[in-house]
């Protein structure tokens, strides 16, 4: 999987990169344009429909001898998953070629180039509308995606999901929540998030000075501080509430030595640099892999994760087919491959980010006969999202320029003093 800063930079720099990329500027502007009145839940009103891309004729045979070109976030797909797809279509002479990007300027500039011939891309919700308006994505043929039935009903409803009505252009790749990761051996039981009346108070506990971190991201850090103050509808936060959240973060920097990092959750926690760190659920499971690869598997048992039981911040990454790709049939086959339960679980075991498959539930990991039981240890079962968790959560997407300016103004107060 990609490092957290790369995905966050994709969202944060979308509006800033336009000035540096004249050729892609109009697309970048569209990608960062506001959505019309979204509500804070995944059940929100639709993002704009955008323009139609190239169509695809249902039933078209797989392209023989195709080189499927995948444009992914760095380290985003398990190598075994890619190889298993090639084995499945070996008789058709299909091979997979993967290129990676780390920042939005790379991705948008490349996709906007008329010579671009990528078949598969992994967009995020915030940029989807702009990519559709620029006709860079191809409408999906659901008839070529029989494994859509493996997804949570939210993603296959006739009128959903809200960001892509009818799932015309995308299917989900992963889902995640935002919460708190900590080291069980380095945080006193009485101070642990799962023991506190207000779990986010742990970030303001001076006992852990120098060992506490948050993501280096305005929306993530400010939303944590807002939730600590009891703000439940984060997108509707007032100027006064944002100012209070920023002041609280300044206090945490001053009195607790809070550090804002890119990799503190998946690297710093198992490595011992942090005792507590804001965390995406997928980053905590990646922390497990990091600990094992670094020769410290015993540290996996020391990791813990908590996120709010209701109204949690959630998100999803998407899969899409590029309009300029030469291989729409095999591109559909590739997406369908990733939606297959055993393939999705194999990828989840590798990258730590959960595919929203109905077969993957927290309860199933308690079943000794479940083939993938070891993918999530008992101490990290809280990372698993249910469909109800996701649909009852809030996605912090679709910020318009005025909203971004309000959040960034308060964030600059904080980081200007770090």
For 137-174, the pLDDT digits (tens) are 999 999 999 999 999 999 998 888 999 999 999 999 99
Q: Which of 109, 99, 127, 113 is nearest to 7 (CA)?
A: 127
Helix H or strand E encompassing 303: strand 303-306
Predicted pLDDT at 60: 67
Residue 226 is given by DSSP the state H
pLDDT at 105 over 90: no
**If you search the block for the tokens 């945490």, which residue do you land on?**
252
From the centroid of its chain, how far is CA 142? 23
* Listed range (183-192, 229-238, 338-347, 396-405) with the worst mean pLDDT: 396-405
CATH T-level fold of 4-175+314-381: D-Maltodextrin-Binding Protein; domain 2 (3.40.190)
Q: Which of 67, 71, 96 is nearest to 337 (CA)?
A: 96
**What contacts 343, CB < 8 A, 6 or more positions away?**
81, 84, 337
Predicted pLDDT at 36: 33
Residues of the chain with CATH 3.40.190.10: 4-175+314-381, 179-313+397-415
Predicted pLDDT at 124: 86
Grouping H, G, I as helix, E, B as strand and the rest as coil, residue 115 is coil
Predicted pLDDT at 309: 94
Give the chain's mean pLDDT.
86
Helices and strands in the chain, H and E counts? 14, 9
Read off the pTM: 0.87
Helix H or strand E encompassing 97: strand 95-101
Predicted pLDDT at 6: 46
Instruction: Take residue 216 and report the two structure tokens written for it.
Output: 């280096």
Instruction: Take residue 60 and report the two structure tokens written for it.
Output: 């078209």
pLDDT at 39 over 50: no
Instruction: Take residue 402 and report the two structure tokens written for it.
Output: 């005025």
Predicted pLDDT at 403: 93
Instruction: Take residue 31 and report the two structure tokens written for it.
Output: 């990608």
Rounded mean pLDDT, 391-417: 92
Pairing of strands 259-261, 212-215: parallel
Answer for the pair 81, 343: CB distance below 8 angstroms, yes or no.
Answer: yes
pLDDT at 19 over 60: no
pLDDT at 44 over 50: no
* C-alpha to C-alpha distances, 394 to 12, 177, 312, 327, nearest whole angstrom: 18, 10, 6, 36
Written as one string, the DSSP assignment of 22-42 is GGGHHHHHHHTSPPSS--SST
Predicted pLDDT at 31: 54
Cα angle, residue 275 at apex, residues 273 and 280 outer, rounded to 5°: 95
Question: Looking at per-residue confidence, does 269 or 104 come out higher?
Answer: 269
Question: Looking at per-residue confidence, does 43 or 337 come out higher?
Answer: 337
What's the start-to-end Cα distance of the chain, in Å?
29
Answer for the pair 17, 104: CB distance below 8 angstroms, yes or no.
Answer: yes
Q: Which of 270, 280, 349, 273 is nearest to 303 (CA)?
A: 270
SS3 of 320-373: EEECCCCCHHHHHHHHHHHCCHHHHHHHHHHHCCECCECCCCCHHHHCCCCCCH
Options 2.70.150.10, 3.30.420.40, 3.40.50.1820, 3.40.190.10; which CATH number does 179-313+397-415 get?
3.40.190.10
pLDDT at 7 over 60: no
Rounded mean pLDDT, 230-238: 95
Top mean-pLDDT range of 76-80, 252-256, 286-290? 252-256
CA torsion sign for 204, 209, 210, 211 is negative
pLDDT at 27 over 70: no
b/e burial code for range 207-230 (CB count within 10 A of at least 16 → b): ebeebbbbbbbbbbbbbbbbbbee
| Phi, psi for residue 111 in degrees, rounded to 5 | -65, -30
Cα angle, residue 344 at apex, residues 341 and 346 outer, rounded to 5°: 105
Predicted pLDDT at 298: 86
CA–CA distance, 135 with 300 (Å, rounded to integer): 45
* Listed range (95-104, 259-268, 354-363) with the worst mean pLDDT: 95-104
pLDDT band at 348 (very low <50, low <70, confident <90, very high): very high
pLDDT at 46 over 60: no
Instruction: Take residue 319 and report the two structure tokens written for it.
Output: 């899969």
pLDDT at 128 over 50: yes
pLDDT at 359 over 80: yes
């Amino acid at each position: 999987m990609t490092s957290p800063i790369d995905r966050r930079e994709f969202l944060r720099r979308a509006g800033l990169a336009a000035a540096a990329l004249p050729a892609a500027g109009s697309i970048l502007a569209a990608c960062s344009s506001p959505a019309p009145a979204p509500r804070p839940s995944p059940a929100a009103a639709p993002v704009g429909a955008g323009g139609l891309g190239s169509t695809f004729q249902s039933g078209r045979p797989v392209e023989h001898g195709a080189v499927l070109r995948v444009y992914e976030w760095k380290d985003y797909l398990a190598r075994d998953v890619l190889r298993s797809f090639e084995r499945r279509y070996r008789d058709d002479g299909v091979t997979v070629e993967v290129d990676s990007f780390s920042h939005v300027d790379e991705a948008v500039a490349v996709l906007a180039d008329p010579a671009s011939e990528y078949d598969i891309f992994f967009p995020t919700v915030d940029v989807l509308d702009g990519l559709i308006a620029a006709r860079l994505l191809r409408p999906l043929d659901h008839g070529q995606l029989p494994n859509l039935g493996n997804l949570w009903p939210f993603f296959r409803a006739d009128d959903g999901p809200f960001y892509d009505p009818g799932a015309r252009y995308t299917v989900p790749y992963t889902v995640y929540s935002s919460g708190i990761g900590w080291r069980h051996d380095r945080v006193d039981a009485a101070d642990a998030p799962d023991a506190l009346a207000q779990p986010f108070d742990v970030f303001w506990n001076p006992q852990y000075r120098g060992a506490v971190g948050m993501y280096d991201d305005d929306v993530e850090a400010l939303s944590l501080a807002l939730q600590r103050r009891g703000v439940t509808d984060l997108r509707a936060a007032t100027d006064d509430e944002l100012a209070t959240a920023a002041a609280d973060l300044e206090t945490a920097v001053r009195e607790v030595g809070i550090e804002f990092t890119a990799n503190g959750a998946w690297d710093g926690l198992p490595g011992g640099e942090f005792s507590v760190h804001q965390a995406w659920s997928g980053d905590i499971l990646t922390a497990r892999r990091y600990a094992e690869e670094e020769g410290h598997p015993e540290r996996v048992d020391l990791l813990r994760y908590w996120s709010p039981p209701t109204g949690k911040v959630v998100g999803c990454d998407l899969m899409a087919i590029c309009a300029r790709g030469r291989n729409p049939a095999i591109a559909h086959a590739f997406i369908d491959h990733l939606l297959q339960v055993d393939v999705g679980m194999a990828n989840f075991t590798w990258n730590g980010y959960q595919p929203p498959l109905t077969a993957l539930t927290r309860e199933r990991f308690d079943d000794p006969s479940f083939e993938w039981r070891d993918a999530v240890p008992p101490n990290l079962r809280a990372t698993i999202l249910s469909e109800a968790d996701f649909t009852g959560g809030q996605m912090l997407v679709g910020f318009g320029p005025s909203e971004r300016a309000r959040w960034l103004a308060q964030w600059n107060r904080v980081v200007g003093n770090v």
